[in-house]
């Protein structure tokens, strides 16, 4: 049994946060696991009931963007726990390194985006020093992220590639109610349902998807679009802008804790993001056999394959290509679509299950702990 700390800013709705919870829950089956967040939990974050009761949750009351006192709180908290390994996400490493160096505890830092976006210039200089001089290992979630880590921090940096994974998405007793609700949004029984699961943010580029669906509907293609995600994620009025440009058949349903029910009721899952790391929502869609229409950006090719054989992909910001992909995904022969659904599930089972991801991390933890004990 290992004593493991997962350290992250908060458990807001996001891919890094969900992965952290999934890992904590899985690892807590046979290990002593602590999930530490800098910010206190509130009602706008992932509900705490999604955490296993075996995970020990600690929040450190961060209120402002920069708090020098947080270094002390992190140090004291870690010193009480005395972890054998610290796994950092997002800004976790920036506050964990003093303890890790002082107590000679190995650290894993998952790089959830391109290294160029992994903090500001000064933070990246700090990380470069930490990766080169101490027992702190950056883990890349996609091949593109791995290339960026080598580019930013140097070819001498060892950065294992561990693709994110998710548990098989749960459905609930609300499935019939969700199906009825979605059917009530259709204009005809034959309408195909396109779903986008992402917070309303400019980087998620929902305006591009809305434009495509508006044009398809004008051209007579029988589709509707459902957007699931936090509509208040941006401080500006992006949600208002998107609502204003949305024609009939486009619906914002906000944040849902039963996403699996909605994916099960959808025909097509689509993203139009300007950048993605390894989107967990895409993995969940594949697990449930959704036809996928996704841009060739970030880590998406690592998830669906390149070239993909399990759905449809398109060059980013190519409106004609997106519309053609959506047409094929909604109007294709039923037998072909059923084959694609089967391949989607097979892809998930082969490489995207949480167990695969978590066991690779566990193996890395043990290697780092063993190395530390032999020094």
pLDDT tens profile 251-294: 999 999 899 999 999 999 999 999 888 899 999 999 999 999 99
Host domain of residue 277? 175-352
- My answer on whether 148 and 279 are in the same domain is no
Same domain, 343 and 262: yes
146 and 210 fall within a common domain: no
User: Has residue 64 got a pLDDT over 90?
Assistant: no
**Pair (157, 227) in one structural domain:** no
CATH of the domain at 95: 3.40.50.2000
Do 240 and 338 share a domain, yes or no?
yes
Residue 67: pLDDT band (50, 70, 90) is confident
**In terms of domains, do 232 and 159 share one?**
no
Helix, strand counts (H, E) of the chain: 14, 12
- Output the CA–CA distances (angstroms, integers) from residue 194 to 205, 223, 238, 294, 374, in the order listed: 15, 7, 21, 12, 54
For residues 247 and 204, membership in a common domain is answered with: yes
Is residue 177 within 8 Å of residue 154, measured between CB atoms? no
179 and 261 in one domain?
A: yes
Task: Give the tens place of pLDDT for each residue, 353-375.
Answer: 999 999 999 999 999 999 887 76
> Which tokens hold the place of 372?
């530390």
Q: Are residues 223 and 143 in the same domain?
A: no
pLDDT of residue 14: 85
Specify the pTM: 0.88
Cα(125)–Cα(145) distance, rounded to whole angstroms?
17
Give, in degrees to the nearest 5, the angle at Cα 146 between 203 and 300: 45
């Amino acid at each position: 049994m290992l004593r493991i700390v997962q350290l992250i800013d908060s458990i807001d709705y996001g891919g890094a946060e969900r992965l952290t919870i999934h890992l904590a829950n899985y690892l807590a089956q046979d290990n002593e696991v602590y999930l530490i967040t800098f910010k206190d939990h509130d009602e706008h974050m992932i509900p705490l009931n999604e955490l296993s009761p075996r995970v020990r949750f600690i929040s450190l009351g961060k209120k402002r963007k920069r708090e020098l006192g947080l270094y002390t709180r992190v140090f004291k908290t870690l010193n009480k726990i005395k972890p054998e390994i610290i796994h950092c996400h997002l800004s976790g490493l920036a506050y964990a390194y003093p303890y890790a160096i002082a107590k000679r505890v190995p650290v894993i830092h998952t790089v959830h985006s391109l290294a160029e976006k992994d903090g500001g210039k000064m933070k990246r200089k700090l990380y470069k020093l930490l990766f080169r001089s101490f027992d702190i290992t950056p883990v890349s979630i996609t091949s593109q992220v791995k290339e960026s880590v080598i580019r930013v921090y140097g070819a001498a940096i060892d950065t294992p590639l561990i693709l994110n994974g998710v548990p098989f998405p749960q459905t609930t007793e609300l499935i019939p109610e969700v199906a009825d609700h979605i059917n009530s949004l259709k204009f005809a029984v034959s309408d195909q349902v396109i779903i986008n699961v992402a917070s309303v943010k400019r980087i998620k580029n929902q305006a591009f998807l809305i434009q495509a669906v508006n044009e398809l509907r004008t051209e007579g293609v029988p589709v509707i679009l459902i957007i699931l995600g936090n509509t208040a994620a941006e401080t500006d009025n992006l949600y208002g802008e998107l609502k204003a440009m949305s024609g009939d058949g486009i619906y914002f349903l906000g944040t849902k804790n039963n996403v699996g029910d909605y994916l099960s009721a959808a025909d097509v899952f689509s993203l139009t993001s300007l950048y993605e790391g390894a989107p967990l929502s895409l993995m969940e869609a594949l697990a449930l056999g959704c036809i996928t229409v996704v841009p060739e950006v970030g880590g998406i090719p690592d998830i669906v394959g390149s070239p993909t054989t399990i759905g449809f992909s398109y060059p980013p910001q190519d409106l004609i290509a997106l519309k053609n992909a959506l047409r094929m995904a909604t109007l294709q022969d039923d037998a072909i679509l059923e084959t694609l659904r089967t391949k989607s599930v097979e892809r998930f089972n082969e490489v995207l299950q949480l167990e695969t991801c978590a066991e690779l991390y566990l193996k890395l933890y043990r290697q780092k702990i063993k190395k530390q004990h032999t020094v």
